[in-house]
Amino acid sequence: METKKSLFARLPIISQLKKSVGLQRGMLIAGIVLTAVFLLTAALAPLISPYGPTQRFNETQAPPSSAHIWGTTAGGYDVFSRTIWGSQTAFLVIVVAVALSIFIGVILGLLSGYIGGWLDRILVVVADAIYAFPTLLLAMVMSIAISQGRSNMWSGIFSAAISITVVFIPQYFRVIRAETIRLKAEPFVESAIVVGASSVRIMARHIYKNATRTLPLIFTLNASEAILTLAGLGFLGFGIEPSSAAEWGYDLNHAQTDAASGIWWTGVFPGAAIVITVLGLTLLGESMNDLNDPRLRGRKRAGRKKNGPTKTEELMDA
């Protein structure tokens, strides 16, 4: 049981929750709750939504009623169903985009930082060139190149994910490369070189595990940026077609003309979904990032020694 407890306590979010106090804990809990709501909504979309994401009705721009609790759009789509199913689309894009970014960025970072030389110089120049482009503009260019800007559900999800992947790779590459360069000079790596371990073994067994400890923090921050990028692509007309899947950015784009006519429900709910989801992921990521700062932990320990632990902290430490 002690081993299980220690493993559970070392999980990224659990360990940060135990370290947090006061306002920082409130921000972290709020981020966890909002993110959990987003994940549950995406997972249970078929059960929560009364209609399919592409199902159309004769009642267009109908106000909220018992049949359509959040009203309908100008195209005859149910706003509530589109908003719920949009969370599933956003989740799939986040998973594919961030997974590809981590996979490619970590491999390139390890190779660049450990091997160095001309390979390192080329990869750094390419990463800096990509990083210099505006995120949304680069995603638009990639979306046009991959799917001509419009596509069905799965090809749209993958084209949007790949577009976002290109933007995120330099971030993971920079972090892993810097950690690899630092770890390469550590005594345990030099000892592995002395005993004859291969470069692949050193990178996979000794450097990879230590260089990727900050990835959960970057993941949560990039997840919120991925949602904004996806919504931006859909808002500008480079996203997923409405007849294939629900997407919040597209719905916001077509709600612009409704707002001028006093039809508020077609834009408020998709917009609120984007704000709440991004807020939850941002609070979670920023709180974890702050609590991972040794200086913050030092201030917390000093405060607890001066004032003594509270009842809540004693229970958490127990």
pLDDT score of 40: 94
**pLDDT, the chain, mean:** 78
Reported confidence tier of residue 37, pLDDT bands at 50, 70, 90: very high
Q: Does the global pTM surpass 0.85? A: no
Provide the residue ranges of all domains of the chain, joining segments of one domain with +: 23-317
Hey, what are 113's tokens? 């930082």
Residue 26 phi, psi (nearest 5): -60, -40
pLDDT tens for 107-158 read 888 888 888 888 889 988 888 888 777 777 877 777 777 766 555 667 677 7
Give the best-scoring range by mean pLDDT among 77-81, 92-96, 226-230, 282-286. 77-81
Q: Which residue has the higher pLDDT, 257 or 148?
A: 257
Reported confidence tier of residue 14, pLDDT bands at 50, 70, 90: low
Whether the predicted pLDDT of 288 surpasses 70: yes
Q: Does domain 23-317 have CATH number 1.10.760.10?
A: no
Reported confidence tier of residue 44, pLDDT bands at 50, 70, 90: very high
pLDDT tens for 266-285 read 888 999 999 999 998 888 87
User: What would the 3-class secondary structure string for the chain be?
Assistant: CHHHHHHHHCCHHHHHHHHCCHHHHHHHHHHHHHHHHHHHHHHCHHHHCCCCCCCECCCCCCCCCCCCCCCECCCCEEHHHHHHHHHHHHHHHHHHHHHHHHHHHHHHHHHHHHHCHHHHHHHHHHHHHHHHCCHHHHHHHHHHHHHCCCECHHHHHHHHHHHHHHHHHHHHHHHHHHHHHHHHCCHHHHHHHHCCCCHHHHHHHHHHHHHCCCHHHHHHHHHHHHHHHHHHHHHCCCCECCCCCCCHHHHHHHCHHHHHCCCCHHHHHHHHHHHHHHHHHHHHHHHHHHHCCHHHHHHHHHHHHHHCCCHHHHHHHC
pLDDT score of 142: 76
